[in-house]
Amino acid sequence: MNFYKERLKHPLNLNSPALLIIDMQKYFTDKNSPAYIKGIENIYENIKKLSETFMKEGYPVIATIHKGGNSSMQSWWGNKIEAEWAKPHFISDYFTYIEKDTYDAFYNTELEKILKLRYVKEVIITGVMTHLCCETTARSAFVRGFNVVMVEDALWDKDEFYHFSSLKNLGHGFATISFTEEILCKLE
């Protein structure tokens, strides 16, 4: 999808970034899970490259684990994520892991505090699902004063329509839309 107009107004700047890996956990990545997202393997390598570069450069990497324990989430989806499905796909002692119970990674978590303690200015968002947890977290980051970057080829959704519609909306009013290679070039 073309975000040329939006990029003219908001070019990619990375001064003090943090990488957010949203909900890359067995619930969405394991083919035996009831919520497996077909094709999610397409973003593994890009998230891996980004996390390795962020670690090498000394920037924070924060991974969320979606528990879905919030009553409205349970009511909407009709379930709660069991412990066996809440295990992260990407595991590193370097990562900070945050558990969350709703779409927003900031809501009732320590995420904002962690980012501010590290003097983060830009949040680079990867993971799943683009139109739910990733978009909600992006909007929440924006209203908290962070510059938001959505990594188009390191985000995944159950439907291409949801994915691109979400990015188009975010590119219009909340986030710079970028690609893995562009971010890697800026960081190295």
DSSP, residue by residue, 156-178: E-SSHHHHHHHHHHHHHHTEEEE
Task: Report pLDDT digits (tens) over 45-82.
Answer: 999 999 999 999 999 999 999 987 777 767 776 767 78
- Residue range of the domain that includes 8: 4-187
Quick one: average pLDDT of 32-43? Answer: 96
Q: Compare 179 and 7 and report the one with higher pLDDT.
A: 179
pLDDT of 102 strictly over 60 = yes
Q: What pLDDT, on a 0 to 100 scale, did the predictor assign at position 76?
A: 75
DSSP, residue by residue, 95-118: SEEEEESSS-SSTTSSHHHHHHHT
Question: What's CA 11's distance to the chain center, in Å?
Answer: 20
- Give 3-state DSSP helix, strand, coil % of the chain, rounded to 5: 45, 20, 35
185 Rama sector, left if φ>0, alpha if ψ -120 to 50, beta otherwise: alpha
**Cβ-based neighbours of 9, under 8 Å, separated by 6 or more:** none
pLDDT classification of 3: cutoffs 50, 70, 90: low
Residue 97, Cβ neighbours under 10 Å: how many? Answer: 14
pLDDT classification of 86: cutoffs 50, 70, 90: confident
Amino acid at position 29, single letter: T
CA pair distance 153, 45, nearest whole angstrom: 10
Q: How many domains does the chain have?
A: 1
Q: What pLDDT, on a 0 to 100 scale, did the predictor assign at position 5?
A: 65
pLDDT of 158 strictly over 80 = yes
CATH number at residue 83: 3.40.50.850
Task: Report pLDDT digits (tens) over 118-150.
Answer: 999 999 999 999 999 999 999 999 999 999 999
